[in-house]
C-alpha cells in the first residue's frame, strides 16, 4: 500500500436557490465564506489546495452544517 497524496484543489460551491441566508456556513468555515450585507454567503472564489487539510475540514463542516443542503465541495484533480 502506498501513501495517497492529496493533489489538486477544491472549491466550496453554494446553490443560491436553496440557500436561506442564515449564515451557518460563515461560522463553520470563516476562511472560505464571508457574508454579504443581507447575510448571504460569499464563497471564496480562488481554489484551495486539497493539501490544506484545515480548510478542507472546515468545508466539510459547512457542508454538513448547512440546514438547506445548499453547499457542496467540488474537487478538481491535477493532471
User: Quick check: 12 binds ligand SF4 (CB under 6 A)?
Assistant: no
Residue 73 contacts residue 10 (beta carbons within 8 Å): yes
Surface-to-core class of residue 58, CB atoms within 10 Å of its CB (0-12 exposed, 13-18 middle, 19+ buried) = buried
Binding mask 15-44 for ligand SF4 (x = CB under 6 A): ----xxxxxxx---------------x---
| Helix (H/G/I), strand (E/B), else coil: 37 | coil
Q: How far is the CB of 48 from ligand SF4 (least distance, A)?
A: 17
Contact positions toward ligand SF4, by CB under 6 A? 14, 19-25, 41, 66-68, 70-71
Amino acid at each position: 500500500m502506498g501513501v495517497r497524496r492529496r493533489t489538486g484543489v477544491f472549491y466550496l460551491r453554494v446553490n443560491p436557490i436553496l440557500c436561506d441566508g442564515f449564515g451557518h456556513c460563515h461560522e463553520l468555515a470563516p476562511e472560505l465564506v464571508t457574508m454579504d450585507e443581507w447575510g448571504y454567503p460569499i464563497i471564496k472564489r480562488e481554489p484551495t489546495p486539497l493539501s490544506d487539510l484545515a480548510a478542507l475540514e472546515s468545508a466539510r463542516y459547512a457542508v454538513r452544517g448547512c440546514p438547506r443542503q445548499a453547499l457542496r465541495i467540488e474537487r478538481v484533480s491535477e493532471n
